[in-house]
Amino acid sequence: MKALIKVKLPRVKEPLYMKKQYQSCSLEERKILRIVIKQGTWFTKPYWDAFKDYLKSQGVSWQLLMEAWGWVNHYFVQWAEGIISWEEAFDRLEIVLNNIIR
């Protein structure tokens, strides 16, 4: 039986600039920023660039990272809204990524 792969994602500092921008904008601008957050490239692209060698060594491709993001992006909107912590949103990303890999 194949052993389960358990990827521990490298943690990064909370991007407070995005949260601050989201919380200080108008309702119309917030709709746009919600779409930007859900799309994820504001986070996933720099994250992939910084950790791609490690992620690849753990069996994580860009496509897998983006698939996981698609399942959890609403948690990052909740983070921007101040409903949940950065750590909780990031934990969800890690859990989903591991479930996809498994």
Q: Residues near 64 by Cβ (< 8 Å), separated by ≥ 6?
A: 97, 100, 101
In Å, the largest CA–CA distance within the chain is 53
Residue 2: pLDDT band (50, 70, 90) is very low
pLDDT digits (tens, 9 = 90+) for 33-79: 999 999 999 999 999 999 999 999 999 999 999 999 999 999 999 99
Residue 16: pLDDT band (50, 70, 90) is very high
Q: Against a cut of 0.75, is the pTM above it?
A: yes
